[in-house]
Structure 1
Amino acid sequence: MTKYLISFPSAAMDVPEGELQAVADAAHAVVQEAKDAGVWVFGGGIDESIPPVVVHGDGTVQEGTYPQTAQLEGGYSVLELPSYEAALEWAAKIAVACRCAQEVRAFQYDPAS
């Protein structure tokens, strides 16, 4: 089976303040459904209050990010699924719960892991 990253940037969620709890409840219900189905691997949101750093091989820590990932934030789910079509189905469930479109990417298979 393949692991899929299903994600969205923070800016994609345009939910009125009074509806945040309903979105959280819906998202938690989808997470529980994925756990019950045995496809949940990991998920969560990036803590945007902690600034990112880049750590080099010599241990040097540099504030900031790679230029291509300056906007890495939002919510992420990793699911292990039998097909790309199944990933699209789960992404649709998450999109409904979070009220925003989801991006789907497949992890490359690594036989050593």
Structure 2
Amino acid sequence: MTQYMISVSHNAAEGPTMENMDLAVIQPIIDAVDAFNDKLREAGAWVFAGGLQPIQATTTVDNTGDTPVVTDGPHAQFAEYLGGFWVIEASDFDAALGWAKAASQACAGRVEVRAFQEDPA
């Protein structure tokens, strides 16, 4: 089976983000995501998932020069950022797309679905 990443993006310019939402607003989303996670596990599609700390908690590391440069904050300043993700296994892209549709509904936002690269060996 192929592994796919379903990524959840947040856009700070579009309104409140999870870190500043009222618990009464966010709790139904948390419950829906928990139920979605249970469905992934029951179907044998679950590999791994996780939510990320807010974008402000990012540290950027650039070790491409003579010395590493470690900077607080994201590499680039964009309104949109990765908020979390699932890694799933699916028989094909259509199956992964079905899971992505359910993920989008559960987390009440846009998601992207993308296959992992095949091992060249």
Does the TM-score normalized on the shorter chain lie above 0.5? Answer: yes
For residues 103 and 51 of structure 1, the distance between their equivalents in structure 2, rounded to whole angstroms, comes to 21
**Corresponding residue pairs, total:** 112
Which residue in the other structure is 1:7 paired with? Answer: 7
Q: Unpaired runs of 5+ in structure 1?
A: none
Whether 1:19 and 2:25 are equivalent positions in the alignment is yes
Structure number with higher strand proportion? 2
For residues 107 and 69 of structure 1, the distance between their equivalents in structure 2, rounded to whole angstroms, comes to 25
Counting only pairs closer than 5 Å after superposition, residues 1-113 of structure 1 correspond to structure 2 as: 1-11=1-11, 17=22, 18-48=24-54, 49-56=56-63, 60-63=68-71, 64-67=73-76, 72-110=81-119
The CA deviation at 1:66 is: 4.6
For residues 68 and 51 of structure 1, the distance between their equivalents in structure 2, rounded to whole angstroms, comes to 11
Name the % identity. 38
The CA deviation at 1:109 is: 1.1
- AA at the equivalent of 2:59: P
For residues 28 and 60 of structure 1, the distance between their equivalents in structure 2, rounded to whole angstroms, comes to 39
For residues 83 and 46 of structure 1, the distance between their equivalents in structure 2, rounded to whole angstroms, comes to 27
The CA deviation at 1:99 is: 1.1
For residues 108 and 15 of structure 2, the distance between their equivalents in structure 1, rounded to whole angstroms, comes to 7
Cα root mean square deviation, aligned: 2.8
Worse overlay, 65-74 or 26-35: 65-74
